[in-house]
Structure 1
Amino acid sequence: MKLTNHISKYVIVFIMALLSIIPFYVLLYLALNPPSRTMFDGFNLLPDFHFQNFSSAWKSSKLGNAIINSLIITVGAVLTIVLVSSTAGYSIARFKNKWNSAIYSTLLLCMMIPAIIITVPLYTLMKNIHGINSHWAMILLLATNSLPLAIFLYTSFIKALPREIEESAIMDGCTYFSAFWRITFHFLKPVTASVVIISGLSIWNNYGQAVFFLQSQSMRTVPLAINMFFQSYGAQWNLMAAAAVIGVSPAVITFLVFQKYFIKGITAGAVKG
């Protein structure tokens, strides 16, 4: 009976993994095929490895400039998120008072509000502060959107850490601020990796707000550039697939770099807190 249960679990996991992989396989298949060949020609599951699609898509879609814009915004926003949310999470976890509790509860409520709902008032604000078509405004905006979840994860993780790791440093004369950055922050690698992946992927793939606030062609991010490319080359599946593969590659690389700590950080933040 136990053997049957184990086998059924593995079968279910295999089916779920297969269903998740199939769309990416189809994307790569189309990206590596010449224009004359479609997905179902002869039911051949191996592509022709037509790598020219990538160079053609790169030149036609102007993804180079879009990737630079996305990198500037994503890296700037993620650094801001890690800096602000880690220190805020430390303050909420270590200094319990009614003000911190009220701020923490407000942040949890903010997690329930979809960012797209406040786009219209944000547009008025961004226009008034001259933030339309600017990197700095998008960095602050997207960082603010991700702060509630990041602070929640850091707070939950820090609560699980023993206070002794920084109390000895404080007794030796360190301030709470220096003790946090010199000692406590080194223990936050798992949750920091989780925040980087979750926030970074969300910011990299952001389209709903970027389409409002980045209207200039020179300021387009990867989702905007790919969307415009799809509108122009909608009938050329090979070029569209190649552009999509190029656009998603930085996000995949980021996940592979931080995956070692990702599950550990999510589990600790969700369970120990």
Structure 2
Amino acid sequence: MKNNRGSIARAGNALRNVLLVLTMFFVTVPMLVVVWTSIQPNTYPKFPPTQFSLKWWNEALTGEWMRPLALSAEIAGIATIISVILGSAAAYALARSNSRARTMLEGFLTSPLLLPEIVISLAVLQFISMFGGSWLGPELLIAAHVTIGIPFVVRTVGVSLVGVDPLWERAAYDLGASRLRTFFTITLPLMKSGIFAGALFAFIMSFNNVELSLFLTSRSATTLPIKILNYMEFEYSPSLAAVAVTGMAGILLIAVIASRFTRMTDFIGGR
């Protein structure tokens, strides 16, 4: 009986490993194709590869593409900071609240995760038109991106606060620490893993966002995803692959830095 159970367990582990390898292959191969497209000389990539060239990078690393890239990074950075501040405060309040409305409020704050972003963008656009406004631009994009960033921060910070015993804070109060000092010396260090994870998710969602940006950008303020989308509508060039690799490299660098402060697996599906 024990041998049968051991065989079943080994077979299950082998199947899981195979599925994991296939999943990683499915996710990684398209990115490798994009990277290869950016460093080969032909307009349409050929296989097997024959030679390498960086000529498409010369077209990508110009003001035409760097300005939208910088704007996307700026919008994502500001939206992430605001999302972290508001989302962390909301998550802490929810974690320490015993109110009956707690579940309702938490559902309200995380509701943007349940709605398609196209619906949110149309709602924001309709809200603006109701007041006769035409002030499309970075400020409006930041506000819209905050709405999709807060739910991630609320979720990840809430998960990190599950392991924080309120008695630790009460002990600090009993020892004479103020609420502000207790928060910065006891609570905040225990929340930081959730804050970094939420900030990473919020930044990626904002930087790569298409739906909200599609409706809320103006000609003078176009983000990188919308610039790529508009370019592909009329022509194709491997320089787009170089631009995409630049964006992916930036996000990967941020993810590597964030991984030094938190384990992302703790916040995928909860602990």
> TM over 0.5: same fold?
yes
Q: Render the CA deviation track for 1:112-153: whole Å, top value 9, x for unaligned.
A: 222321333311434548573332222121112222332133
1:150 aligns with 2:153: yes
Q: Secondary structure at the match of 1:62?
A: helix
Counterpart in 2 of 1:259? 259
Using the TM superposition, give the Cα deviation of residue 253 of structure 1 relative to its aligned residue in structure 2, in angstroms: 1.7
Distance 1:157 1:131, change over 3 A: farther
- Preserved CA contact (<8 Å) 1:30 1:47: no
What is the aligned counterpart of 1:35 among 26, 32, 42? Answer: 42
* Paired-residue identity, %: 16
1:164 aligns with 2:167: yes
Supply the distance in 2 between the matched residues of 1:15 and 1:102 (Cα, whole angstroms). 40
Query: Quick one: which amino acid aligns to residue 32 of structure 1?
Result: I
Counterpart in 2 of 1:118? 120
Q: Secondary structure at the match of 2:211?
A: coil
Aligned residues: 262
Supply the distance in 1 between the matched residues of 2:132 and 2:153 (Cα, whole angstroms). 26
1:132 aligns with 2:135: yes
Distance 1:123 1:6, change over 3 A: closer
Query: Quick one: which amino acid aligns to residue 251 of structure 2?
Result: A
What is the aligned counterpart of 1:213 among 208, 212, 216? Answer: 216
Using the TM superposition, give the Cα deviation of residue 215 of structure 1 relative to its aligned residue in structure 2, in angstroms: 1.8
Unmatched 5+ stretches in structure 2: 1-6
1:22 aligns with 2:16: no
Taking the TM superposition and a 5 Å limit, the aligned residue runs for 1:68-79 are 68-79=70-81
Query: Quick one: which amino acid aligns to residue 31 of structure 1?
Result: S
Taking the TM superposition and a 5 Å limit, the aligned residue runs for 1:188-227 are 188-216=191-219, 218-227=220-229
Counterpart in 1 of 2:4? none
Distance 1:87 1:200, change over 3 A: same
Counterpart in 2 of 1:249? 249
Task: Give the TM-score, by structure 1 length.
Answer: 0.84
- Preserved CA contact (<8 Å) 1:233 1:240: no
Supply the distance in 2 between the matched residues of 1:16 and 1:145 (Cα, whole angstroms). 27
Q: Secondary structure at the match of 1:96?
A: coil
Distance 1:186 1:129, change over 3 A: farther
Task: Give the TM-score, by structure 2 length.
Answer: 0.84
Query: Quick one: which amino acid aligns to residue 117 of structure 2?
Result: A
Using the TM superposition, give the Cα deviation of residue 37 of structure 1 relative to its aligned residue in structure 2, in angstroms: 6.2
Distance 1:129 1:270, change over 3 A: farther
Using the TM superposition, give the Cα deviation of residue 184 of structure 1 relative to its aligned residue in structure 2, in angstroms: 0.7
- Preserved CA contact (<8 Å) 2:158 2:194: no
Unmatched 5+ stretches in structure 1: none
Query: Quick one: which amino acid aligns to residue 246 of structure 1?
Result: T
Distance 1:227 1:186, change over 3 A: same
Query: Quick one: which amino acid aligns to residue 201 of structure 1?
Result: I
Distance 1:47 1:153, change over 3 A: farther
- Preserved CA contact (<8 Å) 1:194 1:263: yes
Supply the distance in 2 between the matched residues of 1:230 and 1:114 (Cα, whole angstroms). 24
Supply the distance in 2 between the matched residues of 1:131 and 1:97 (Cα, whole angstroms). 40
Query: Quick one: which amino acid aligns to residue 107 of structure 1?
Result: L
Supply the distance in 1 between the matched residues of 2:132 and 2:198 (Cα, whole angstroms). 28
